[in-house]
C-alpha cells in the first residue's frame, strides 16, 4: 500500500483541519444519514439494477455467473472549476489522439520526425497495416473515448490510460444517476448538479454527423453487437434503445457492391453509420479472423470505399496501447503545440534496458501492466502482491520485456464509501466519456467513477471486485436556489 496518506475528495487530506469546506454540507449528509438508511437505499438501487438486467459476466466463469456491478450510494463530487480544468485537458488529449491516428495511417510524420519509434507503431499488434491510407469520414477515428483518470491531490489529476477502441461503462453512468435521483433526491435539491441525461442525444448527433455523404434523409445509424452473451450486452441494448436506433448482429447486415444493407420486414435499408461494439479482430472475416461469426463479410471493403462510417474506426487500438500511452505527452505536444494539460503517470517502458533493470529491481513497489491488457487482467500491484506473484512476473518480464510497462504506485484519492462496517474511505478512478464528431468535441458533465471496495485495494475494475458511484458535477453555483 502507498505510504503517503491518501487525499480524500470530500474530507480533504488527513490531518488538515480545514478539510474541504466547499463540501462541508455533503460531509454532514454522510455523517448524519444513518448507515442503515444508506444501506437500505443502496440495496434498493442494486435490486433495481438486477431487475433491469444490468449485469456483466466475468470471463472464465460459467455463463450463469452474471453479476451486477456493486453500486455505492455515497456520490463523488467535482466542483465547476475542477470540471472546467479537466474538460480542457480532455479535449486537448482526444484531439491529439485523432491527429495521431490520422497521421500513422497516413503520412506518418510523427515517425519521420523521430517522436515515436517506428517499430513501436508498425510492429504493434494493434496497428492494422491493411488500413494504411484509409480516411474515415471527416478524418475522425476515435469518435468515442473513455479517458481513465486518477487523482492524488486537490489539483493533481493524471491520465492512467486511454480507451479508444470500444470504451464501455456509459450505461452505468446514466443508470447510477437515475438511482441517485430516485433514492437521494435531497442531494439534488441541496446542490445544483449538472444533468447527464442528454448523453444519448449527443451520441446520436455524433453518429449522424460522421455519415459519409450528406443526403436529404437522416443518416441510418445502427449499433452492432456481438450478441446477448457479451458481457456488455445490456449497455449495447440500452444505448440503441436510448438513441432510437436498431440493435443489430452480423446476420442482420450484408455488404453488396461495397454498400452495407440492413434487412428489415419492409426490405433492405442502406446503413450509413455503424456504432460497432465488436473488436477489430472479429469485425470482418474476410480481413481479420476468418473464423469469426460475429463480423460482416466485406465490411472493411465498404469502409475503405468511403460508403460507411465505423464508430470507432478500425485500427484505433494503436492509440490505447500502453506502450504508446507512455509517449502521449510527446504526442500531445507534437500535434497541439503545447504541453499536455493532463499529465501521464510516470511510466517505465520495459522494452528499454534501463527501464527493465529498474523495474526488476523494484517490483515490490511498482504496478506492472501488459501493454495490450485491459480489465485489470495481466497486472501486478507490487505492494499487495505475494512473493510468488512477484517472482512469476519477474520471469515473464525477463522472457518478454516488450510486452510490459511499469508505473509507480500512486496514493490514489479516496471517497467515503459504504462498507459492511459503515462509511469508510475507498480508492477511486474516473472515466469521463468524450465524443468527437464533425461538429466538434462534446463532453457530458459526468462520468463513471469506479471504486475499489476492498480496504486498501487500488484495483477498481468490476472484474476484480470493484464497484461504481455516481459522479456529480456541480454547476457554477454549488447551491440550488429555492
Coil/strand/helix, residue 435: strand
Given 307, 329, 357, the domain boundary residue is: 307
Identify whether residues 426 and 327 lie together within a single domain. Answer: yes
Identify whether residues 325 and 417 lie together within a single domain. Answer: yes
CATH number at residue 288: 3.40.50.11290
Identify whether residues 157 and 240 lie together within a single domain. Answer: no
Tell me whether strands 273-276 and 221-224 are parallel, antiparallel or unpaired: parallel
391 falls within a domain: no
122: number of Cβ within 10 Å: 14
What pLDDT score does 476 carry? 78
381 falls within a domain: no
82 falls within a domain: yes
Identify whether residues 222 and 302 lie together within a single domain. Answer: yes
Identify whether residues 142 and 252 lie together within a single domain. Answer: no
Identify whether residues 328 and 298 lie together within a single domain. Answer: no
Q: How far apart are CA 346 and CA 154, in angstroms?
A: 19
C-alpha cell at 426: 475507498
Identify whether residues 252 and 335 lie together within a single domain. Answer: no
Indicate the helix (H) or strand (E) that contains 158: strand 156-163
315 falls within a domain: no
What pLDDT score does 153 carry? 92
Identify whether residues 186 and 237 lie together within a single domain. Answer: no
What pLDDT score does 62 carry? 47
56 falls within a domain: yes
Q: Domain total for the chain?
A: 2
422: number of Cβ within 10 Å: 11
Identify whether residues 218 and 145 lie together within a single domain. Answer: no
355 falls within a domain: no
Given 283, 307, 331, the domain boundary residue is: 307
What pLDDT score does 63 carry? 47
Tell me whether strands 253-256 and 448-452 are parallel, antiparallel or unpaired: unpaired
Residue in 26, 71, 73, 34 with CA at minimum distance from that of residue 52: 71
Identify whether residues 16 and 165 lie together within a single domain. Answer: yes
Q: How far apart are CA 439 and CA 205, in angstroms?
A: 9
Q: Which residues are CB-contacts of 420 (< 8 A; sequence separation ≥ 6)?
A: none
What pLDDT score does 64 carry? 45
Q: How far apart are CA 172 and CA 432, in angstroms?
A: 12
Identify whether residues 144 and 259 lie together within a single domain. Answer: no
Find the domain containing 277 and state its range. Answer: 213-307
419 falls within a domain: yes
What pLDDT score does 12 carry? 87
CB–CB of 413/160 below 8 Å?
A: no
Identify whether residues 223 and 121 lie together within a single domain. Answer: no
Q: How far apart are CA 215 and CA 144, in angstroms?
A: 24
CA angle in degrees (0–180, nearest 5) for 341-434-196: 115
- The predicted model scores a pTM of 0.92
Q: What is the pLDDT along the chain (482 residues), one digit of tens a residue?
A: 445 678 999 998 776 766 788 899 999 999 999 999 999 999 999 999 888 877 665 555 444 456 778 899 999 999 999 999 999 999 999 999 999 999 999 999 999 999 999 999 999 989 999 999 999 988 999 999 999 999 999 999 999 999 998 899 999 999 999 999 999 999 999 999 999 999 999 999 999 999 997 666 799 999 999 998 888 899 999 999 999 999 999 999 999 999 999 999 989 999 999 999 999 999 999 999 999 999 999 999 999 999 999 999 999 999 988 889 999 999 999 999 999 999 999 999 999 999 999 999 999 999 999 887 665 567 898 888 899 999 999 999 999 999 999 999 888 999 999 998 899 999 999 999 999 999 999 999 999 999 999 888 887 876 667 899 999 999 976 655 44
114 falls within a domain: yes
Amino acid at each position: 500500500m502507498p505510504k503517503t496518506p491518501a487525499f480524500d475528495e470530500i474530507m480533504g487530506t488527513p490531518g488538515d483541519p480545514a478539510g474541504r469546506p466547499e463540501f462541508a454540507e455533503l460531509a454532514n449528509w454522510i455523517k448524519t444519514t444513518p448507515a442503515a438508511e444508506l444501506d437500505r437505499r443502496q440495496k434498493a438501487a442494486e435490486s433495481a439494477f438486477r431487475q433491469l438486467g444490468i449485469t456483466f459476466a466475468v470471463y472464465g466463469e460459467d455463463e450463469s455467473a452474471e453479476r451486477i456491478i456493486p453500486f455505492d450510494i455515497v456520490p463523488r463530487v467535482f466542483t465547476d472549476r475542477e470540471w472546467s480544468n479537466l474538460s480542457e485537458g480532455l479535449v486537448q488529449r482526444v484531439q491529439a489522439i485523432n491527429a495521431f491516428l490520422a497521421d500513422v495511417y497516413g503520412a506518418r510524420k510523427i515517425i519521420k520526425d523521430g517522436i515515436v519509434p517506428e517499430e513501436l507503431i508498425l510492429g504493434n499488434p494493434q496497428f492494422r497495416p491493411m488500413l494504411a491510407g484509409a480516411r474515415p469520414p471527416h478524418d475522425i477515428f476515435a469518435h468515442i473515448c473513455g479517458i481513465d483518470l486518477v487523482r492524488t491531490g486537490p489539483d493533481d489529476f493524471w491520465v492512467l490510460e486511454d480507451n479508444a477502441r470500444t470504451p464501455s461503462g456509459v450505461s452505468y453512468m446514466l443508470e447510477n444517476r437515475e438511482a441517485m435521483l430516485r433514492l437521494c433526491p435531497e442531494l439534488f435539491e441541496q446542490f445544483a448538479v449538472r444533468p447527464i441525461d442528454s448523453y444519448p442525444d449527443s451520441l446520436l448527433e455524433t453518429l449522424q454527423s460522421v455519415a459519409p455523404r450528406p443526403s436529404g434523409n437522416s443518416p441510418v445509424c445502427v449499433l452492432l453487437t456481438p450478441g446477448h452473451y457479451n458481457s456488455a450486452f445490456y449497455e449495447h441494448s440500452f444505448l440503441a434503445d436510448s438513441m432510437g436506433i436498431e440493435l443489430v448482429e452480423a446476420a442482420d447486415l450484408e455488404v453488396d457492391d461495397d454498400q452495407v444493407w440492413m434487412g428489415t420486414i419492409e426490405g433492405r435499408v442502406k446503413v450509413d453509420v455503424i456504432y460497432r461494439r465488436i473488436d477489430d479482430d472479429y469485425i470482418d472475416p474476410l480481413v481479420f479472423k476468418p473464423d469469426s461469426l460475429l463480423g460482416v463479410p466485406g465490411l472493411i471493403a465498404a469502409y475503405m470505399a468511403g460508403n460507411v462510417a465505423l464508430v470507432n474506426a478500425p485500427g484505433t487500438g494503436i492509440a490505447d496501447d500502453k506502450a504508446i500511452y507512455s509517449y502521449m505527452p510527446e504526442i500531445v505536444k507534437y500535434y497541439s503545440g503545447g504541453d499536455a494539460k493532463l499529465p501521464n503517470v510516470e511510466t517505465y517502458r520495459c522494452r528499454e534496458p534501463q527501464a527493465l533493470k529498474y523495474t526488476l529491481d523494484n517490483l515490490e513497489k511498482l504496478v506492472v501492466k501488459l501493454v495490450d491488457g485491459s480489465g485489470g487482467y495481466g497486472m501486478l500491484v507490487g505492494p499487495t502482491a505475494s512473493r510468488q506473484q512477484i517472482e512469476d512476473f519477474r520471469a515473464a518480464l525477463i522472457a518478454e520485456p516488450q510486452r510490459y510497462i511499469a508505473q509507480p504506485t500512486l496514493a490514489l484519492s479516496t471517497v467515503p464509501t459504504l462498507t459492511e462496517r459503515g462509511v469508510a474511505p475507498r480508492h477511486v478512478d474516473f472515466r469521463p466519456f468524450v465524443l468527437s464528431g464533425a461538429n466538434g468535441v462534446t463532453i457530458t458533465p459526468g462520468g463513471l467513477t469506479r471504486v475499489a471496495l476492498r480496504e486498501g485495494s487500488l484495483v477498481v475494475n468490476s472484474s476484480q471486485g470493484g464497484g461504481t458511484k455516481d459522479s456529480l458535477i456541480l454547476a457554477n453555483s454549488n447551491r440550488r436556489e429555492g
